[in-house]
């Protein structure tokens, strides 16, 4: 079974699908690993390191796609809306594609992937279970985003993060407010605390309180209660507009008192709720910073512009997208470990194991035989159920 890793083509993307350290495990399991020349260079992994570990280097992208049984990418077409479509002619029927495909993004794009006949697995659909924990690339990238977000905010803020006692007097610590205490939010709290800031956080899920406090953060409690605050996968659920309006009113005071606000409230497949209004931004002190980790999907701040940094009312609002590529060495390492665990689960004795009784395989399988076969995704897009379950 040949695994091929092409160089990422999304503009500014520095990560790579597999790193040299995982190659021996794959070779031992019977895989042959092919890497496009230069694929890992920007992440800190030169071709020579892959060769040392047992991988082979191929000169071009076409060569990788033409011989690989399994293609591993970070951003496949779907999550790569800039250049991903160029890979469609390179895919072939029966080939396996693994990576971020943004399955709840565009039905048209998924249809284009399905039309190639490729058997694709959307890694963001990995179940959040103990058994699948080692494969959870979404959480891995969330960790990277939370860490990097605080560093970007700290560099932008014209103030110190920690409390300092100096000959010129005592400097009070920065106040960092994190909205959305998922994986990225929790890592942001942890990183802000390490840098010496006072960290506060809010999440509509009551279960997040204990996690925030365990990291030394203060949990902001609001006198409103969300209905069915989280789904079966542990993600926050969408609320009605009256809830968000009341939430914004109550959050306004905390936002106004914060030096840095990091928003990380996303709902899979939905537009992120607006949690920080223009009026709330106006109430913040000049020089304050908002970093919107939901920017790629529209943003949690009303004034966020995806991919841009803007200044409004003296407040810098950072709408950077693809934040995890800013730590490419370890982001690639974590992703490669997740993908390796998935590959070892998916392929046994050199054969693809399409056991749909296996929750991990069933939940991640997106397209097969020219069709969108994932039940959750079909329901999300209101598609009729398939007559056949496709190879059970």
Q: How far apart are CA 69 and CA 96, in angstroms?
A: 6
Q: How far apart are CA 213 and CA 234, in angstroms?
A: 19
For the question of residue 128 being annotated catalytic, the response is yes
Q: How far apart are CA 333 and CA 231, in angstroms?
A: 30
For the question of residue 205 being annotated catalytic, the response is no
What are the φ and ψ backbone dihedral angles of 171, each rounded to 5 degrees? -105, 125
Quote the tokens at residue 163: 């409390």
For the question of residue 133 being annotated catalytic, the response is yes
Closest alpha carbon to 258 in 224, 284, 291: 284
For the question of residue 235 being annotated catalytic, the response is yes
User: Which of 66, 106, 133, 213 is the catalytic position?
Assistant: 133
User: Which of 9, 25, 112, 139 is the catalytic position?
Assistant: 139
User: Which of 81, 193, 205, 235 is the catalytic position?
Assistant: 235
User: Which of 47, 115, 128, 194 is the catalytic position?
Assistant: 128
8 Å CB contact between 323 and 359:
no
User: Which of 136, 203, 259, 292 is the catalytic position?
Assistant: 136
Closest alpha carbon to 243 in 268, 265, 224: 224
Three-class DSSP labels, the chain = CEEEECCCCCCCCCCCCCCHHHHHHHHHCCCEEEEECCCCHHHCCCHHHHHHHCCEEECCHHHHHHHCCEEEEEECCCCCCCCHHHHHHHCCCCCEEEEECCCCCCHHHHHHHHHCCCEEEEHHHCCCCCCCHHHCHHHHHHHHHHHHHHHHHHHHCCCCCCCEEECCEEECCCEEEEECCCHHHHHHHHHHHHCCCEEEEECCCCCHHHHHHHCCCEECCCCCCCCCCECCCCCECCCCHHHHHHHHHHHHHHHHCCCEEEECCCCCCCCCCCCECHHHHHCCCCCCEEEECCHHHCCCECCCCCCCEEEECCEEEECCCCHHHHCHHHHHHHHHHHHHHHHHHHEECCEECCCCCCHHHHHHEEEECCEECCHHHHHHCCCCCCCCCCCC
Which residues are tagged catalytic?
Answer: 128, 133, 136, 139, 235
């Amino acid at each position: 079974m040949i695994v091929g890793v092409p160089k990422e083509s999304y503009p500014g993307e520095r990560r790579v699908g597999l790193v040299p350290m995982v190659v021996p495990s794959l070779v031992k399991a019977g895989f042959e690993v092919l890497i496009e020349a230069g694929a890992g260079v920007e992440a800190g992994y030169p071709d020579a390191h892959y060769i040392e570990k047992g991988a082979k280097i191929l000169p071009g992208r076409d060569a990788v796609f033409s011989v690989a049984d399994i293609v591993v990418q970070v951003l496949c077409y779907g999550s790569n809306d800039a250049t991903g479509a160029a890979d469609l002619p390179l895919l072939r029927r029966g080939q396996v594609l693994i990576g971020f495909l943004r399955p709840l993004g565009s039905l048209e794009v998924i249809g284009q992937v399905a039309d190639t006949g490729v058997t694709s697995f959307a890694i963001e659909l990995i179940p959040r279970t103990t058994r699948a924990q080692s494969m959870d690339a979404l959480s891995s990238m969330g960790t990277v985003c939370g860490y990097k977000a605080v560093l970007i905010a700290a560099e932008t803020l014209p103030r110190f993060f920690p409390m300092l006692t100096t000959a010129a007097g005592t400097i009070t610590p920065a106040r960092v407010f994190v909205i959305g205490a998922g994986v990225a939010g929790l890592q942001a709290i942890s990183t802000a605390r390490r840098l010496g800031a006072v960290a506060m956080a809010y999440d509509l899920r009551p279960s997040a309180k204990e996690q925030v406090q365990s990291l030394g953060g203060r949990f902001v409690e609001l006198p409103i209660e969300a209905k069915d605050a989280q789904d079966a996968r542990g993600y926050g659920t969408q609320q009605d507009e009256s809830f968000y309006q009341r939430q914004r009113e109550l959050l306004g005071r905390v936002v106004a008192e914060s030096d840095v606000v990091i928003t990380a409230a996303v709902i899979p497949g939905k537009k992120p709720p607006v949690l920080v209004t223009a009026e709330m931004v106006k109430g913040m002190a000049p020089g304050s910073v908002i970093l919107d980790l939901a920017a790629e999907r529209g943003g949690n701040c009303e004034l966020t512009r995806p991919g841009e940094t803007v200044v409004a009312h003296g407040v810098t609002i950072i709408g950077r997208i693809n934040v995890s590529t800013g730590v490419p060495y370890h982001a690639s390492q974590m992703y490669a470990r997740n993908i390796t665990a998935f590959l070892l689960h998916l392929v046994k004795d050199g054969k693809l194991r399409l056991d749909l009784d296996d929750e991990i395989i069933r939940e991640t399988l997106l397209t097969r035989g020219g069709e969108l076969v994932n039940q959750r995704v079909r329901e999300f897009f209101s598609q009729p159920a398939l007559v056949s379950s496709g190879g059970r």
